Amino acid sequence: SSDPVPAELLDRIMDSLSRPYEVNGKLLRCTPSLGIARYPSGGVDADTLLANADHAMYEAKRQGGARYGFYVDDGSVADIAV
């Protein structure tokens, strides 16, 4: 399907991953970066989809982290959002 991934879903995922966690009495916080590649524009097999999602994730990290990016079929990353 070419339906966009709903921003509200991505925001909920980011919020859930950004919550502080207590481990051994210490409060830990992470700043997630997500990469999204969609079938078939982002790849037609699992290895390609994962590689392109990984590319989008590292681009999101490069732009400051705590954000998400979408792989675009021309090899670029679009819609980097916080």
Q: Is the pLDDT of residue 26 over 90?
A: yes
User: E strands of the chain, at which residues?
Assistant: 21-23, 26-28, 34-36, 68-71, 77-81
Give the pLDDT band (50/70/90) at residue 35. very high
Q: What angle (nearest 5°) sits at the alpha carbon of residue 55, between those of residues 75 and 35?
A: 110
**Residue 82: what residue type?**
V
Q: Is the pLDDT of residue 42 over 70?
A: yes
- Residue 28 β-bridge partners: 21
User: E strands of 11-57, at which residues?
Assistant: 21-23, 26-28, 34-36
